[in-house]
Chains A and B, each alone.
Chain A
């Protein structure tokens, strides 16, 4: 089937009219090129968005209180309430498949008033009361010292982990921060670690300017009793927080005596849902890329089919001679289909290679000119290339099929009469 003579013949036919062959090949080349580049661009955007989410645990939601919107059990509408540590315990106990339930308290530096003092330097920073788990939900790199641990929680130690941004505004360059004290709203805390978060998000500055202290110390120092400001809840990898969150709300409503239908009382932000929505967008984009690419490719394939029809027409007499000499019609069909597949694959490979080159150049410019927002490392996977190759083989087959059929449709005697 794939003898040397077969290949020789394919090459003879395709090289007998170079100009025409190259023009034909260009259609397929262009189609596959567009497909590859579109997919790579989609991937680049996707990578950009993913890196925007950073390392943050995406199967997470944040939950806070907003005041009731319905009267219930004698309690009035519009009642303010606060999460308590008992709510956290109840959630942990009653809702399965949760990985982390982190109560958090926050002292806002966001309103601009300076709340942290060290010697003569002052600054406005967000101060969080947290459990050690939070580092898994909102990952950060510890650049020196350590993060909050369980002992800090139990002994209510006055210790703090500060961001590199905080360090830069409260300390001189090269000054040792570990072991020094900072004063947060009048209470002294000892710095035990510094962190740096990984993100190329727009507010990259802001997230390096946070201070983490043990939850229990926060409660004690700032008189929060067993109040919980808000919660960050992460589900196990094999379940989805979007599906579990209703159960969580139910537990909270029971605990806080909120009307079961009161949907406004507890506010939340479902990161997982948001993340999946964005991922869904990229899935749709990928389909569009395939759609557009395949359509462009299709016009190339029709071009190949067209040319093969012309080639067959031109060779009608030759095909008649070959059949008179006793060539099997299947062998003639195979010959034409193989010519078509060969032409498609060759031009397709050229398209893939050229696409890869363009992607390489784009990456090269991105690397040398610094990152572009929302666009990171456009690339196509080996899987995509394989899919492209399969598309090529199939389309070559389709392109050759009709011409091959027409080659043996005409009777040999009529083919021989052709001039």
Chain B
């Protein structure tokens, strides 16, 4: 599903540049649930942003579902993001003047799905994250956990090939974190490929594979037996 070869990325700041990713080789099969770990500043978010086509790589190659991701103009990148990828952010990033349902429907709107069908699908996904009754609420009327569940519903609405989550539980307490992880595991059970950046070992243990980044290279990549989140909920 994801294939990365010898990926390099540096940030230029004035005259000096900061080499953040120093040759990453990495691939993800369909249906995997991968945790990316590492100390702060090790380049986790940078990697995820490149995978999400929000940022561009300097060197190396990136293939997503057999499509080489290279030299995309903004229009094309937007189209790929919409079709291939779903994002979940640490700070939720819901649009605050739109209701939960409208937020979930957004990716479908960009796919030019009709209004009625959009609403039906949005409600279906809200139902799946258990927030159907909150469809008409604004983000400001939701708790952190609820916001993140809306964000997950939004990320899933366009039925992406890969779900990318950058510290999805970073702003939540442990109980809500487990609720969110439970949801993510269920989505993964349905066959979706998911990558999660996290600091927390217990969250990483709920994935099926852990990748460790240190100083811009992968230092450890191991498959683990998944801890089910449902037992804590």
Interfacial residues of chain B within 42-91, with CB under 8 A of chain A in the complex: 49, 52, 54-55, 74-75, 78-83, 85, 87, 89
When each residue 15-46 of chain A gets 1 if its CB lies under 8 Å from chain B and 0 otherwise, what string results? 01000000000000000000000000000000
Distance A330 CA – B55 CA, assembled complex (angstroms): 19
Q: Which of B19-27, B105-113, B170-178, B210-218 contacts A (4 or more CB under 8 A)?
A: B105-113
With contact pairs A4-B115, A324-B81 given, residues A408 and B87 touching in the complex (Cβ less than 8 Å): no
A321, B49: Cβ atoms closer than 8 Å: no
Asked if residues B74 and A408 are in contact (CB atoms below 8 Å), the reply is yes
Measured CB to CB, the nearest residue on chain A to B87 is: A324
Inter-chain CA distance A408–B75, complex, in Å, is 11
Q: Is A323 an interface residue (CB 8 A)?
A: yes
Rounded to whole angstroms, the CA-CA distance of A123 and B78 in the bound complex is 94
* A109 contacts chain B at the CB level, 8 A cutoff: no
Query: Please, how many angstroms separate the alpha-carbon atoms of A5 and B106 in the complex?
Result: 11
Interface size bracket, A side: 20 to 34
CB neighbours of A317 from chain B (8 A): 93
> A318 to chain B: which residues have CB within 8 Å?
95
Residues of chain B within 8 A (CB-CB) of A325 are 81-82, 87, 106-107, 110, 154, 158
Q: Are A329 and B79 in contact (CB under 8 A)?
A: no
CB pair A413 B49 closer than 8 Å: yes
In the complex, which residue of chain A has the Cβ closest to the Cβ of B97?
Answer: A12
Q: CB distance B89 to A326 under 8 Å?
A: no
| Alpha-carbon separation in the docked complex, A318 to B92 (Å) | 12
Residue of A whose beta carbon sits closest to that of B94 = A321
A331 and B49 alpha carbons, distance in the complex (Å): 23
**Roughly how many angstroms separate A191 CA and B206 CA in the complex, as a whole number?**
119
Encode A314-355 as 1/0 by CB contact (under 8 A) with B: 000110011111111111000000000000000000000000
Kindly state whether residue A416 has any CB partner on chain B within 8 Å.
Answer: yes
A229 interface residue (CB < 8 Å to B): no
Q: Which residue of B lies closest to A318 (CB)?
A: B95
B81 with A326: CB separation less than 8 A:
yes
Say which residue of B52, B110, B115 sits within 8 Å of A328 (CB atoms): B110
- When chains A and B are docked, how far (Å) is the Cα of A5 from the Cα of B107? 13
Q: Would you call A73 an interface residue if the criterion is a C-beta within 8 Å of the partner chain's C-beta atoms?
A: no
User: Digit string of B197-214 for contact with A (CB within 8 Å is 1, else 0)?
Assistant: 000000000000000000
Complex contact B89–A416 (CB within 8 A): yes
In the complex, the answer to whether B75 meets A327 with C-beta atoms within 8 Å is no
Interface membership of A412, Cβ < 8 A: yes
B138 CB to nearest chain A CB (Å): 12
State the Cβ distance, B148 to closest chain A Cβ, in Å: 14
Give the contacting residue for B82; candidates A16, A326, A329; CB below 8 A: A326
Contact B115 A5 (CB under 8 A): yes
A4 to B115, CA, bound (A): 9
Name the residue of chain A whose CB is nearest to the CB of B74. Answer: A329
- Chain B residues positioned under 8 Å from A416 (CB to CB): 54, 89, 93
Give, as a whole number of angstroms, the nearest-CB distance from B150 to chain A: 13
The reply to whether A5 and B109 contact each other, CB–CB distance below 8 Å, is yes
The size of the chain B interface, using a CB distance under 8 A, is 26
A288 to chain B, nearest CB (A): 45
Contact check, B109 vs A328: say whether CB atoms are below 8 A apart. Answer: no
The docked-state distance in angstroms from the alpha carbon of A326 to that of B158 is 10
Asked if A412 contacts B54 (CB within 8 A), the reply is yes
Chain B 114-166 interface residues, beta-carbon cutoff 8 Å to A: 115, 154, 158
Complexed CA–CA distance, A102 and B158 (Å): 88
Across the interface, do B75 and A328 meet the contact criterion of CB distance under 8 Å? yes
Complex CA gap A325/B52 in Å reads 10
- A413 neighbours in B (Cβ, 8 Å): 49, 54-55
Q: Is the beta-carbon distance between B79 and A328 smaller than 8 angstroms?
A: yes
B-side contacts of A330, CB under 8 Å? 75
Q: Are B78 and A323 in contact (CB under 8 A)?
A: yes
A321 and B79 in contact (CB under 8 A), knowing A5-B115, A328-B110, A331-B110?
no
- Determine how close the nearest CB of chain B comes to the CB of A19; give it in whole angstroms: 17
Report the separation of the CA atoms of residues A255 and B9 in the bound assembly, to the nearest whole angstrom: 100
For the complex formed, measure the closest distance between the CB of B151 and the CB atoms of chain A, giving whole angstroms.
10
B74, B80, B115 interface centre (most CB from chain A within 10 Å): B74
Contacts of A322 in B (CB 8 A): 95, 106, 110
User: Which residues on the B side are within 8 Å of A324 (C-beta)?
Assistant: 52, 54, 81, 87, 93
B139 to chain A, nearest CB (A): 12
Contacts of B115 in A (CB 8 A): 4-5
Contacts of A12 in B (CB 8 A): 97
A327 touches B110 (CB 8 A): yes
| Inter-subunit contact A16/B75 (CB<8 Å) | no
B151 and chain A: residue at smallest CB distance:
A321
Taking CB atoms, residues of chain A closer than 8 Å to B89 are 416
Complex contacts, B87 vs chain A, CB 8 Å: 324-325
**Choice from A5, A329, A411, A412 contacting B75 with Cβ under 8 Å:** A329
A111 vs B172: C-alpha distance when bound (angstroms): 107
Question: Quick one: which of A165-220 are within 8 Å of B by CB?
Answer: none
Q: Give the residue name and chain of the B residue nearest to A321 (CB).
A: B93
Q: How far is the CB of B119 from chain A (nearest CB, A)?
A: 11
Q: Which residues of A line the B interface, CB within 8 A?
A: 4-5, 12, 16, 317-318, 321-331, 408, 411-413, 416
19 A–B pairs (Cβ distance < 8 Å), ordered by A? A5-B109, A317-B93, A322-B95, A323-B81, A325-B110, A326-B78, A326-B79, A326-B82, A326-B85, A326-B107, A326-B110, A329-B75, A329-B78, A408-B74, A412-B54, A413-B54, A413-B55, A416-B54, A416-B93
Shortest Cβ-Cβ A-B pairs, 4 listed: A326-B82, A413-B54, A326-B81, A327-B110
Known contacts A328-B75, A331-B110; 17 additional CB pairs below 8 A are A4-B115, A5-B109, A5-B115, A12-B97, A318-B95, A321-B95, A323-B78, A323-B81, A325-B87, A325-B158, A326-B83, A326-B111, A327-B78, A328-B110, A412-B54, A413-B54, A416-B93
